[in-house]
Amino acid sequence: MSGQKSRLHQGRSCEIICPKAPTSLRGDIRIERAAIRIWGCQVGRQAEGRALSEIGRRELERIHWLTMAQSLPEEGVASYFPNERSRIERLSEVRWPQGPTCGRCQGTSITWIETRSLFQCRSCRHQFSVTSDTSLHRTRLPLGMWFQAVESLIRYRVSIFDNFHMPAHALAETLGVQYVAARRIRKVVLADIDIGGQEFLRSAVCVRAPTIP
């Protein structure tokens, strides 16, 4: 991912032209350098040590969340993924770019059981869902609720300047679930989308590359 982009920058001022740096970050060289580091540009990487010490983890976090916010579907997650099927397909793409694979025998000849929304391995008959053995293992909540939680947490985080995550009670209200459920959902989603997270849900919901107009 970084190789091709990095070649574009050779001999030029990376912080001005990096095609991955969000518009909102341009103009502040220190922040851009840290941002570029996140997107893997070599020039940015050379500045990593300095950038880190200059702006600190707080700024990196801010960049992390801004990037995700810019990657959300413009029309909103609910419109972009209008039904459970579209969400399953998206998670499947993210999880198995080469097509579904059996977690038991690694078989790649897989059928889809429409009535149960499950995959079945033709070799060992093992049945599994797109969330089996992920952070959403055995979730009983509709995927739409997880997707909405991801969007809500990201949009909340970039809408204020105090680096707070959306409180569980606010998420409960948004999702229409009990506080305890919202607290659990929030924990799982944050473990996925925060810096160093598993990035399963994040990759599924953040469909756009951050762009410069």
- With contact defined as beta carbons under 8 Å apart, do 152 and 159 qualify? no
**203/208 Cα distance (integer angstroms):** 10
Q: Segment near Zn ion (CB under 5 A), from 54-62, 112-120, 125-133, 175-183? A: 125-133
- With contact defined as beta carbons under 8 Å apart, do 62 and 161 qualify? no
- Of the pair 12, 104, the CB lying nearest Zn ion is at 104
- Shortest separation between residue 108's beta carbon and Zn ion, angstroms: 9
**Of the candidates 8, 16, 78, 105, which one interacts with Zn ion according to CB under 5 A?**
105
- Of the pair 25, 121, the CB lying nearest Zn ion is at 121
**Of the candidates 40, 73, 107, 144, which one interacts with Zn ion according to CB under 5 A?**
107
**Of the candidates 5, 45, 95, 126, which one interacts with Zn ion according to CB under 5 A?**
126
Q: What is the DSSP letter of 112?
A: E
Number of residues that bind Zn ion (CB under 5 A): 8
Q: What is the DSSP letter of 116?
A: G
Report the SS3 class of residue 187: helix
Residues in the chain: 213
- Of the pair 38, 118, the CB lying nearest Zn ion is at 118
Token pair in block for residue 90? 């998206």
Give the x-and-dash track for 41-80 against Zn ion (CB under 5 A). Answer: ----------------------------------------
- Residue closest to 185 by CA, chosen among 121, 114, 135: 135
**171/101 Cα distance (integer angstroms):** 34
- Shortest separation between residue 132's beta carbon and Zn ion, angstroms: 12
Binding site for Zn ion (CB under 5 A): 102, 104-105, 107, 121, 123-124, 126
